[in-house]
Amino acid sequence: NAVVHWFKRDLRLHDNRALHLAYQTARENQNPLIALYIQSPQDLAAHITSPAQVDLSLRTLRQLQRDLGELDIPLYMETQETRKAIPRRVVELCQQWGAKHLYANIEYEVDELRREAKLVRLCAENDIHFAPSHDTCVVTPGLLASQQGRQYAVFTWWFRSWLAFLKENPDYLEVSEEPGSNPGDARGQFANLFNCAVPEAPRNKQLSDEEKSRFEKLYPTGEHEALQRLEKFLEEKGRGYEAGRNIVAKEQTSVLSPYFASGALSARTAVATAKRVNKNHLDRYDQGYMTWISEVAWRDFYKHVLVHWPFMGMNKCFKPEHTDIEWEYDEEQFQAWCDGKTGFPLVDAAMRQMRHMAWMHNRTRMVVSSFLSKDLLLDWRRGEQYFMANLIDGDFASNHGGWGFGSSTGVDPQPYFRIFNPIRQSERFDPDGQYIRRWVPELRSVQGNAIHDPYDRGAAATAEKHGYPRPIVQHAASRDRALERFKRALKK
């Protein structure tokens, strides 16, 4: 009579709600605990999961298998081609193992909720007790509402209520205990599950050897690394976060997003640890820690939004009138944006940073999303998809939310008439051009302020000589065109 924990994007032992509950049930009944993971290539394709993220998850599984093995808990892994097959397969495996209890953490995207709903039905029909847990958000979606009982659409108000909720309900920041050694005799009963091979990445999601080792160096595997990074970041950079987080060359942010995305780190642990170093305050002491906590809260916010307005996960804009914006579909310009060859140094540096690191600084994510959707007036959904296909931290809700912000079509967006000037952004957030020189080698020898706009500031010969492209649009004219299109759509 085994107990099963089904791992998804919660690849950690530390502070994992469903795993903790599964372990408790196994311990109470002296049953063996089995861990399960199913990879679906169709799912990875549908979510446009990047090869870098697939690789990180598979590496994390290897680590997890070792850590679980030390506790005598087997991790059974397999590949199911179609995602539709997964709920039935989970039930079949439970039956095969004689398991009457199944635990998993809930994922809030639309397809995942449908899958979970199907699993609830199938488990009920087959006499399996399925306990889905809320784990990925610090505050469970649905618990925060305005005085009129509505979901907040503005972050500032939502964040206030998020903080108030956590002050009133400190147990939401309580970290779940890790499992101990298997209460049942899994090594005897399920010996064959212990040497299970970690699935291969599907063919269209594979990395070259060079990419694999590059990403592994940038993002060493697993939850131990994530917890160490968290502590080190808070200790060394937390207090300077508020002042330095927007300076793109400064490396003042945590770069923990890959670990949140694979589930190697829980947001609850992140906030609880930041609160601890903030002398146990959630509302004062150091603005650096508080700002960082508010950034982690953005991750919760976008998941709450998605749960409340699920149509946002179906390529729809938050406000219906934004559907009427007439976008351009210029392939060459899109390609120039993807390749970091727009002639706008900060935009190009950022796009090349993403190509190299599968990660981009938050400030430049805002700049390049605004550039794509306003300066080029290209459909923001193309940018959203390109990000998912390339980011190691690709997360549907945060990415969708970020694109909604940048393109002024989302919930709590930047107002459409506030259009980032990419050269001004460059001067403000990369004042000495260090970031640009790092990522755009053609401009390395450009001196001083010309780095932000070489063709207009006396460095045309150097830029040309090294093959750096001229700007593909003029910002002032593009800005007028974007304003006109937005106004036209909103007036209809």
Numbered residues of the known binding site for FAD: 241, 253-257, 292, 295-302, 393-395
Q: Considering the candidates 242, 327, 449, 464, report the single residue annotated as catalytic.
A: 327
Nearer to ligand FAD, 190 or 241 (CB): 241
Q: How far apart are CA 242 and CA 291, in angstroms?
A: 6
**CB-based contact 340:347 (threshold 8 Å):** yes
387 binds ligand FAD, rule: CB under 6 A: yes
Indicate the Cα dihedral angle 367, 371, 374, 378, nearest 10°. -130
Stretch 433-452 residues interacting with ligand FAD (CB under 6 A): none
Q: Is 133 helix (H, G, I), strand (E, B) or coil?
A: strand
Q: Is 332 helix (H, G, I), strand (E, B) or coil?
A: helix
353 binds ligand FAD, rule: CB under 6 A: no
Q: Is 166 helix (H, G, I), strand (E, B) or coil?
A: helix
**CB-based contact 38:90 (threshold 8 Å):** yes
- Is residue 295 part of the annotated active site? The answer reads yes
Backbone angles phi, psi at 228, to 5 degrees: -65, -45
| Known binding-site residue numbers | 241, 253-257, 292, 295-302, 393-395
Q: Give the tokens for residue 29.
A: 């009944």
Pick from 50, 269, 399, 425: which binds ligand FAD (CB under 6 A)?
399
Q: Give the tokens for residue 32.
A: 């063996």
Least separation, in Å, of the C-beta of 392 and ligand FAD?
Answer: 9
Unique residue bearing structure tokens 């007439």? 326
Q: Considering the candidates 380, 384, 399, 439, report the single residue annotated as catalytic.
A: 380
- Is residue 337 part of the annotated active site? The answer reads no
Q: Is 50 helix (H, G, I), strand (E, B) or coil?
A: coil
Nearer to ligand FAD, 16 or 398 (CB): 398
227 binds ligand FAD, rule: CB under 6 A: no
225 binds ligand FAD, rule: CB under 6 A: no
Q: Considering the candidates 107, 403, 439, 442, report the single residue annotated as catalytic.
A: 403
Pick from 362, 385, 421, 434: which binds ligand FAD (CB under 6 A)?
362
Q: Give the tokens for residue 43.
A: 């799912």
291 binds ligand FAD, rule: CB under 6 A: no
Q: How far apart are CA 140 and CA 347, in angstroms?
A: 36
Judged by CB under 6 A, the stretch of 10-18, 135-143, 344-352, 400-408 that binds ligand FAD is 400-408
- Give CA 100 to chain center in angstroms: 33
Q: How many residues bind ligand FAD (CB under 6 A)?
A: 29
Q: Is 345 helix (H, G, I), strand (E, B) or coil?
A: helix
256 binds ligand FAD, rule: CB under 6 A: yes
Least separation, in Å, of the C-beta of 49 and ligand FAD?
Answer: 11
Pick from 158, 219, 260, 429: which binds ligand FAD (CB under 6 A)?
260
- Is residue 362 part of the annotated active site? The answer reads yes
338 binds ligand FAD, rule: CB under 6 A: no
Pick from 63, 176, 257, 408: which binds ligand FAD (CB under 6 A)?
257
- Is residue 6 part of the annotated active site? The answer reads no
Neighbours of 417 (CB within 10 A): 11
Strand 101-105 and strand 33-39: the pairing is: unpaired
Unique residue bearing structure tokens 């945060």? 398
Q: Considering the candidates 158, 162, 298, 359, report the single residue annotated as catalytic.
A: 298
**CB-based contact 370:418 (threshold 8 Å):** no
Cβ-proximal residue to ligand FAD, closest one: 402
Least separation, in Å, of the C-beta of 291 and ligand FAD?
Answer: 9
Q: Which amino acid is at 264?
A: A
Nearer to ligand FAD, 72 or 300 (CB): 300
- Is residue 97 part of the annotated active site? The answer reads no
> For residue 3, which of 395, 28, 489 has the smallest C-alpha distance?
28
Q: Is 78 helix (H, G, I), strand (E, B) or coil?
A: strand
Pick from 8, 20, 322, 365: which binds ligand FAD (CB under 6 A)?
365
- Is residue 327 part of the annotated active site? The answer reads yes
Neighbours of 109 (CB within 10 A): 18
Active site residues per annotation: 295, 298, 327, 362, 380, 403
- Residue numbers of the site for ligand FAD (CB under 6 A)? 245, 253-257, 260-261, 295-296, 298-299, 302, 362, 365-366, 369, 387, 391, 393-395, 398-399, 401-403, 405-406
